[in-house]
Amino acid sequence: MNDQEWYTPEWIFQKLDTHFDLDVCAPKIQIPYIPADKHYCIDDDGLNQAWTGKVWCNPPFRNAGQWMQKFHQHGNGIALCPISKTLWFDRLVQDPNVRIEILPSTLKFIHNGIPSPVRTSCCLVYMGDDI
């Protein structure tokens, strides 16, 4: 398992109750509860691939800015990202075509097979069909 991979917990997808055309930043191992038709993992370099349809994006938090800028440009999908004092986050917050939902501070990702606390506040970012 890649030490950089922190998997979105299943309850997030149950809460969203939607289906995606593409997971742009998927784990290397197929996670059966991620509701997407196609998956780009680290080997596919999803950041440099074409994104089509409704996307799911849970980017690597250490490099979230590039992913979230591309997500913002794509304009259709849902992303789970850190709340950040950065230009890319400010642009999202100020965009009237974006809806942001802050997630509970008790959020735990799956890391190395176990639920693990996240060290930063997170949110869901909705664009396009899910506004």
Q: Could you tell me the residue ranges of all domains in the chain?
A: 10-43+55-105+123-130
Q: Tell me the angle at which helices 87-94 and 64-74 cross, rounded to the nearest 10 degrees.
A: 30
Mean pLDDT of 89-114: 94
Task: Say which DSSP state 49 is in.
Answer: S
% of the chain surpassing 90 pLDDT: 83
Confidence of residue 124 (pLDDT cuts 50, 70, 90): very high
pTM, whole model, 2 decimals? 0.93
How crowded is residue 100: how many other Cβ atoms within 10 Å of its Cβ? Answer: 15
